[in-house]
Structure formats: C-alpha cells, structure tokens
C-alpha cells in the first residue's frame, strides 16, 4: 500500500502584495508562480506594512536611508519621516502574531526587502549607498531568528527554496505535533520520524536530542518538550552540505543494502558518487531509497520525514 504522509499546514506571514492584494505603490500585485502554488498548503497571515502605517495606494516612492545608529524610512516627495511609525508598527504587529513557521517577504522593498533593497546616504534618496534590507524585514529578522525568513527573489534559487520548504513543514510539524504530546512515547515517535532529517542538518544536535529524549520521564516531559523544540529549531538553521546529505543517505541505505544483490549495491554507490560530483540529483537518490523501502516493506524508513519532507506537488 502506498505510504501517505499527513502534512501540517505551515503558518506563514506573507507580504500582502505577493499574489494577494493590489497594495503596491502602483496599486498592483506581484505574480510569483511558486508562491501561488505554495500558499494553498499554508495558513497565511498577510500584511502590508506601508498601508498599515497610513500610506495610501497608490503612493509615492519610499526609501531607506542611513542613520548614525541604523536605518531610517522616508518619503522624499512629501518630506514625510516614517522611521518611528514603521518601527512601532513592526513591534506591535510582530508582538501580536501567533507562533509562525516562517515569513515570505517582497524583495527590494524599503519595508519588506530581505535582500537587494536600495539604501541611500540621505533622506531625499539622491545618493545611493548600498544594497540592504527594508525596515520591517530588519525587525522580522531580529524578532524571529529561529524561523526561515525569505523573499520571493531569493526563493528563485532552487537550493534556498528546497531548504525553505523543508524548514517550514518541519517547524509546522513540531508546532502541531509537540502541542499534542502527552506521553514520552509520543515524543520518541516524533524524534524517530525526524532522525534522518536531523542527521542531515546536524549530527551534533541529533545526538544531543537523542540524549534528551532518552532521559525524559513522564514527570519532566513538559520541560523536555521545550528544550527539544529549541534544539530542533537550532538544528534546522543551517542548510545541509552535499557531504551531510550523502552521509545520511548511506545511513538509510544501511537498512536496505544487505537485501540487495552486489550489482545493485554497486549501482547505488555509483549514484551517490555522481551526487557528490554534482551529476546526480538528490531527489534521484531519495526516490531510489523510497522504492527500495517499499520493495522490502521497511515502514520505519517510509515514515521518515527525510524521504518526504513536504508535499510532492511542490517539487
Ligand atoms: S512590499 Fe511590503 S510594504 Fe510594499 S506593497 Fe508589498 S507588502 Fe506592502
């Protein structure tokens, strides 16, 4: 029987102009195919910081400029100084958010840009200084250091997109699943399901989490869950290298190799070498491992988040 995973719904805060509301300076939206496909799988909280601080639609250009101790926001055509308004809106909006699993913001924007926002030396926006971030995005990164924060521009990079998807579905899973844990056994089951995904991200954290789970008793379950959640988020922070993926793939293959013929094993090793050399895609190896797990009925592997970290339709 085909193994069907029930995916959680990541809760994302998203710039409202991305496929949703015509709130840009020119009263348009921004069309983005990937975000259009992703959002139906998510619980979306949309926000347009510039509308929220009282700027109209359409509106004149807003810019980021340098201050002695950070960055400011202004509207050169009207002379409006917007720094304090944007900072105070960002504080109150982010403070009132429920627990979120990630952010997708609009690139280049003086408010939302996570990357490529033009920063000027002066509040009239005449002298370009450098590329940086928008004021709202700066606050998001400061207040939510443990969840992924990306913009639609960076998500065009396939590796960043893959890592973003893995993280938002894993973080949503820990938010939903750990909230329901009442017994140590349920924490053990969760940890087992994420063993290889955690291994790919950080062997050190995986061992630390393993020790934590092993030492958890019913009496200290609540305390352990909080520690476990933090370690989980820390483990997912860094994108796994090719070497870390290859190592994880070998560990998974260890459950299957003794049931294969010598020629099949040799073929697998050749594919892994191809992956390390950039000639074989990671997905090819994952699909091969899944096929083998089906062939030998290894439910323990089919249950692993590493083999299907997010809905296949999003690939
Ligand atoms: S980039 Fe941000 S501030 Fe600008 S229109 Fe989009 S949501 Fe509003």
Structural domain boundaries in the chain: 11-156, 157-315
- Give nearest CA residue, ligand 1 atom 5: 24
Whole-number Å distance between alpha carbons of 94 and 315 = 30
Q: Residue 187 above 90 pLDDT? A: yes
Model confidence pLDDT, tens digit, residues 74-116: 999 999 999 999 999 999 999 999 999 999 999 999 999 998 9
How many C-alpha atoms does 203 have within 13 Å on its Cβ side?
Answer: 8
What mean pLDDT comes out for the span 2-11? 87
Closest to 76 (Cα-Cα) out of 109, 125, 127, 119: 125
**Secondary structure (DSSP) of 260-312:** S-HHHHHHHHHHHHHHHTTSS-HHHHHHHHHHHHHHTT-HHHHT-GGG-SS-G
Q: Are 43 and 23 in contact (CB under 8 A)?
A: no
- The H or E element containing residue 65 is strand 63-67
CA of 107 to the centre of ligand 1 (A): 9
Give 297's pLDDT tier (boundaries 50, 70, 90).
very high
Q: Residue 5 above 90 pLDDT? A: no
CA of 255 to the centre of ligand 1 (A): 49
Mean pLDDT of the chain: 96
DSSP code of residue 132: E
Q: Count CB neighbours of 202 within 10 A.
A: 19
Q: What is the pLDDT of residue 4?
A: 73
CA of 78 to the centre of ligand 1 (A): 19
Q: What is the pLDDT of residue 315?
A: 82
Q: Residue 2 above 90 pLDDT? A: no
Q: What is the pLDDT of residue 309?
A: 97
Instruction: Give the CA distances from residue 114 to residues 41, 127, 131, 193, in Å, rounded to whole numbers and listed in that order.
Output: 23, 21, 10, 32
Q: Residue 255 above 80 pLDDT? A: yes
Of ligand 1's listed atoms, the one at least distance from the Cα of 24 is 5
- Give nearest CA residue, ligand 1 atom 8: 48
Q: What is the pLDDT of residue 115?
A: 87
Model confidence pLDDT, tens digit, residues 257-294: 999 999 999 999 999 999 999 999 999 999 999 999 99
Model confidence pLDDT, tens digit, residues 126-160: 999 999 999 999 999 999 999 999 999 999 999 99
Q: Residue 117 above 80 pLDDT? A: yes
Whole-number Å distance between alpha carbons of 152 and 20 = 13
In the numeric block, the tokens 């994952």 are attached to: 286
Q: What is the pLDDT of residue 123?
A: 96
Q: Residue 3 above 80 pLDDT? A: no
Q: What is the pLDDT of residue 242?
A: 97
Give 39's pLDDT tier (boundaries 50, 70, 90).
very high
Q: How far is CA 225 from the centre of its chain?
A: 21
Model confidence pLDDT, tens digit, residues 207-252: 999 999 999 999 999 999 999 999 999 999 999 999 999 999 999 9
This prediction has a pTM of: 0.95
Q: Is the peptide bond before 62 cis (omega within 30 degrees of 0)?
A: no
CA of 44 to the centre of ligand 1 (A): 15
Q: Are 198 and 235 in contact (CB under 8 A)?
A: yes
């Amino acid at each position: 029987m085909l193994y069907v995973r029930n995916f959680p719904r990541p809760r994302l805060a998203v710039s409202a102009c991305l496929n949703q509301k015509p709130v840009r300076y020119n009263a348009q939206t921004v069309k983005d195919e990937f975000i259009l496909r992703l959002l139906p799988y998510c619980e979306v909280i949309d926000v347009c910081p510039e509308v929220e601080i009282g700027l109209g639609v359409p509106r004149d250009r807003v810019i980021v400029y340098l201050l002695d101790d950070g960055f400011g926001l202004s509207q050169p055509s009207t002379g409006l100084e917007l720094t304090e308004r944007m900072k105070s809106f960002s504080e109150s909006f982010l403070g009132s958010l429920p627990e979120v699993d990630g952010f997708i913001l609009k690139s280049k924007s003086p408010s939302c840009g996570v990357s490529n926002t033009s920063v000027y030396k002066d509040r009239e926006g005449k002298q370009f200084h450098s590329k940086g971030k928008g004021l709202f995005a700066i606050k998001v990164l400061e207040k939510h250091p443990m969840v992924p924060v990306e913009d639609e521009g960076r998500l065009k990079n396939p590796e960043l997109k893959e890592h973003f998807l893995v993280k938002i579905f894993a973080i949503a899973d820990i938010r939903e699943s750990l909230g329901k844990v009442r017994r140590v056994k349920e924490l053990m089951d969760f940890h087992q399901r994420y063993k290889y995904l955690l291994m790919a991200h950080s062997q050190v954290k995986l061992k630390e989490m393993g020790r934590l789970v092993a030492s958890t008793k019913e009496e200290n379950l609540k305390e352990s869950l909080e520690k476990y959640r933090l370690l989980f988020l820390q483990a997912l922070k860094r994108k796994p290298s090719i070497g870390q993926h290859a190592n994880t793939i070998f560990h998974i293959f260890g459950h299957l190799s003794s049931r294969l013929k010598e020629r099949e094993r040799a073929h697998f090793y050749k594919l892994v070498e191809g992956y390390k050399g950039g000639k074989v895609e990671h997905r090819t190896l994952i699909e091969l491992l899944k096929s083998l797990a089906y062939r030998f009925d290894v439910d323990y592997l089919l249950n692993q988040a590493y083999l299907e970290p997010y809905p296949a339709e999003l690939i």
